[in-house]
Amino acid sequence: MQKEICEKESAEQQAGCSGTGFIGRDFLALLFLSAITITIYSHTLGSPFVLDDSANILKNQYIRIADLKPESLYNAAFKSLRIKRPVSNISFALNYYIGHYNVLGYHVVNIFIHMASGMVLYLFLRITLNISSPTRPQARLISFFAALIWLVHPVQTQSVTYIVQRMTGMAALFYLLTMLLYAKARVANQQGCLKTGDKRPARAYLYFIGAFFSAIIALGSKENAATLPFFLILYEWFFFQDMKRDWLKRNGVYFLGIFSLFLLLVFIYVGGNPVAKILSQYQTRDFSLVQRLLTESRVVIYYLTLLAFPHPSRLNLEHDFPLSYSLTDPVSTILSILSIIGIMVAGMLFAGKERLWSFCILWFLGNLVLESSFIGLEIIFEHRLYLPSMLIFIIPVTLFSRVIKSEYAAKGILCLFIMVFSIWTYQRNQIWKDEITLFTDCVQKSPNKARPHISLGIALIRAGRNDEAIITLFKAVQLNPKSASAHNSYGVALSIAGDIEQAIPHFEEAIRILPIYEEAKHNLDKALAYQKEDERIDRR
């Protein structure tokens, strides 16, 4: 035991916890991570607000604060649309306070969050590698390349460039920061090798306190951080308790308390009876709970293919993912389920010799659970990969370092991947330069989905290209006649073209589909008023 403690203390020093180590190569690594983030995202600073940015930012009166008084910040935090994400809401309010609706400030914050996440990821991988394998060579390089691949990966563009997905970015940043601070606290808390007068045990308390507040911020940023207590326990068991079962038995009561806390968080999240609330979410969806569960098995495998081959042609803000109706319809459903089971089994088998790999596999699957299982969210979004993908690249990077005997060859191949991913990220971000390029891309990749046609049609109206908007929105109505938004937007385009008689039935249909649709009611009133005015003029 004494030897293990000494190794953990040695790991702390190797992981750059000492000032000398940090000022050296670790500092240069962090500087490079920062520089490359700024480089590949620098041209997104003018990308516009889109989709959910409207409801959460542009139309959110509570973030329009004129001062930093507690009342203003409280209203922004807890009266905004996403009341369970107060930290994210406050960040938007501060952006508004500084620059109103200038997108530059919002993008600067998002890019900084992504950059900070990459830096924290590097430090977390550094200390974890040294805890799990104190004698592992090239721990710094492996951590650096794994963090860098995640940082420049094209699939992260949706979480960074899509402004409202700051919620995802902030939750992931403080989630991982909690893990890092916890790891540093536990390493510093090993007192067996500490010399008299060393203040590191005191630092451990500071790290624990920091981890606690970081966890609160993560939970206040987005609800998917609710898995954090589970992964803290798993991390402790994997890397500090040598996966001993008696430790789990001794602390069973505490784990039960934490599990109860998790259930409480779920109860708070759904705002009532969890089962009833979850089932009610499917009333407005075009898929059932069973269909979603079956489909998500294929989505998880698709996510893995995106991580492996993230060419811009495969990335899409509006994926039109086909549903699964049974285990064999399509047959890829059962194959995907078996693949996921195989991945889980591999994760358990790796726990003996490749503990870090095992943890990374569980991290990936575990952090997809909330958004890729029973909750009635939309089927697929790329930003859901942001947190789950953080640790996964340690596996291929470690494999490269072992399989390729030449260190220079391994570095060269990894650098080639990083260069290609960086170029693809830059190219993907060019699609986000304005609404028309973004939604044209969505329409081309999801031609049978109504919503991208609606979004493109609205963008064309704003750009003064109403004739194109009419064609696009007519297609949206054809694709989904039950879409209130499609009918309302098509009615607006027809009204602008002066075809009031054709517009009115679409406004009426939008209201019939969604009786509380105030915008459609307003548009109908205006159209009827214009119609009456035209009739009055004709009678003269």
How many CA atoms lie within 13 Å of 252's alpha carbon, on the beta-carbon side? 4
Is residue 143 within 8 Å of 122, Cβ to Cβ?
A: yes
| Single-letter amino acid, residue 86 | P
- Residues 120, 211: Cα–Cα separation, whole Å: 13
| Single-letter amino acid, residue 401 | S
Is residue 523 within 8 Å of 492, Cβ to Cβ?
A: yes
Q: Which two tokens stand for residue 266?
A: 């779920």
Q: Which tens digits make up the pLDDT trace of 2-44?
A: 444 444 444 444 444 444 445 578 899 999 999 999 999 999 9
Q: Which tens digits make up the pLDDT trace of 427-471?
A: 999 999 999 999 999 999 999 999 999 999 999 999 999 999 999
- Residues 354, 361: Cα–Cα separation, whole Å: 11
- Residues 58, 116: Cα–Cα separation, whole Å: 26
Q: Which tens digits make up the pLDDT trace of 66-96?
A: 999 999 999 999 999 999 899 999 999 999 9
Percentage of residues in the chain having pLDDT higher than 90: 74
Query: What are the two backbone dihedrals, phi and then psi, of residue 326, each rounded to the nearest 5 degrees?
Result: -160, 180
Is residue 318 within 8 Å of 456, Cβ to Cβ?
A: no
Helix axes 407-431, 27-41, angle to 10 degrees: 30
pLDDT given for residue 11 in this prediction = 45
Is residue 76 within 8 Å of 56, Cβ to Cβ?
A: no
Burial status of residue 193 (CB atoms within 10 A of its CB: 0-12, 13-18, 19 or more)? middle
- Residues 382, 312: Cα–Cα separation, whole Å: 12
Q: Which two tokens stand for residue 393?
A: 């690249």
Is residue 382 within 8 Å of 158, Cβ to Cβ?
A: yes
**Residue 271 Ramachandran class (φ > 0 left, ψ -120 to 50 alpha, else beta):** left
3-state secondary structure of 343: helix
pLDDT-flagged residues of the chain (< 50): 1-21, 192-196
| Single-letter amino acid, residue 299 | V
Q: Which tens digits make up the pLDDT trace of 496-529?
A: 999 999 999 999 999 999 999 999 999 999 999 9
Cβ contacts of residue 201 below 8 Å, gap of 6+?
188, 189, 191, 194
Q: How many CB atoms lie within 10 A of CB 71?
A: 9
How many CA atoms lie within 13 Å of 514's alpha carbon, on the beta-carbon side? 18
Q: Please, what's the largest Cα pairwise distance for the chain?
A: 101
- Residues 526, 521: Cα–Cα separation, whole Å: 9
3-state secondary structure of 411: helix
Domains and CATH numbers, the chain: 25-58+101-243+282-429 (no CATH), 435-539 (1.25.40.10)
Task: State the DSSP H helix or E strand holding residue 98, giving kind and residue range, or none if neither.
Answer: helix 86-99
Cβ contacts of residue 296 below 8 Å, gap of 6+?
372, 373, 379
pLDDT given for residue 540 in this prediction = 61
